[in-house]
Amino acid sequence: MTAFVLGAGLGTRLRPLTARRPKPLVPVGGRPLITYAFDHLISLGVTRFVVNTHWCAERYLEFFPGATYRSIPITFVHESPEALETAGGIWNAQEFLKDGPFVVYNGDILCSLRLPRALEQHRKSGCEVTLLLRTVGANRNVTFDEKSGAVLDLRRILRPELEPGCSFTGIYFVEPQFIARIPPGQIISVVSIFHEMIRAGAKVGGLICDDGDWRDLGTRDEYLAANALFPADDGNVIDPTTSIAPNAILKNCVVWEKARVGAGAKLTRCVIADGATAEGEHTDKDFV
């Protein structure tokens, strides 16, 4: 199976940490966020990754020289001059996706959902697409009929009278004929395509996946909370290539590659990006 991993976003909510790298490459627990997606997908049996790129695209090959991860090949598909959004990205990469079913996975999430069970359900359903949904957490804007297994609406566009009870995880299984529904060369979201399918009477499948953890690392607070899952002393996550003065005090900080923390620094909930220098006393400050 092939996985299409979304890597072309601008990461605007996480600025300035994404000023020099795509959000899927920010370090979490000491390694690029996207590698957690890759590991999760390898456990499903994925044998090829396709990653769309746009912002700071050249940095992907810095982190994945040879375009491989754990011996799994990665095909990078660039989007220029603009990012094509989620459906446009699939259309742009169709050469590598059209030969069979594939899974789409957001490159900026951290999760441990049971993907094999979801894939089995998708195969049994006969649906062109099956969205993995959650009934816990925030941003519940998907209306889902669990009895029929059909998504009825997303974002209260088609059935505003119905109260949505699910959130969309950004993970879904896709049959290759779905690609033909995407207008060629357009900047368009998959949500728009899902709406058109529902209007036309085609079933958009869904599956509740409340087991396991799921995190969207869109904001600074969410980024720090994710790193708190992998802390060392005083809740810090510190790259081994950093230089930290012996009398510096750090609490709940994330320190990236080749950063430097000066003598006497007192930092709390700070992020020191790659190559940056942090000095003085600060709380909730990003050094880039």
- Reduce the secondary structure of 94-124 to three states and give it as a string: HHHCCCCCEEEEECCEEECCCHHHHHHHHHH
pLDDT at 218 exceeding the cut of 90 = no
Share of the chain above pLDDT 90, in %: 93
Statement: the pTM of the whole predicted model exceeds 0.85: yes
Average pLDDT over residues 190-212: 96
pLDDT band at 139 (very low <50, low <70, confident <90, very high): confident
Please say whether the beta carbons of 124 and 199 come within 8 A.
no
**Span 268-278, pLDDT tens digits:** 999 999 999 99
Calpha distance 120→109 (Å, rounded): 22
Res 260: pLDDT: 97
pLDDT tier for residue 244 given thresholds of 50, 70 and 90: very high
Estimate to the nearest angstrom the gap between the alpha carbon of 186 and the chain centroid: 22
* 204, 129 Cβ separation under 8 angstroms: yes
User: With 90 as the cut, is the pLDDT of residue 225 above it?
Assistant: yes
Strands 142-145 and 150-154: antiparallel
Question: Given this model, what pLDDT does residue 89 score?
Answer: 96
* DSSP string for 8-35: ----GGGTTTTSSS-GGGSEETTEEHHH
Closest CA to 105 of 190, 197, 203, 182: 190
Give me the domains of the chain, ranges plus CATH numbers.
Answer: 2-216 (3.90.550.10), 231-287 (no CATH)
pLDDT in tens, 45-85: 999 999 999 999 999 999 999 999 999 999 999 999 999 99
- 231 pLDDT above the threshold of 80: no
- Residue 270's alpha-carbon distances to 31, 134, 138, in angstroms, are 18, 31, 25
pLDDT at 11: 81
**Tokens at residue 165, please?**
């009870």
Residues 85-113: tens digit of each pLDDT:
999 999 999 999 999 999 999 999 999 99
Q: Taking all residues of the chain, what is their mean pLDDT, rounded to a whole number?
A: 95
pLDDT of 234 reads 81
pLDDT at 233 over 90: no
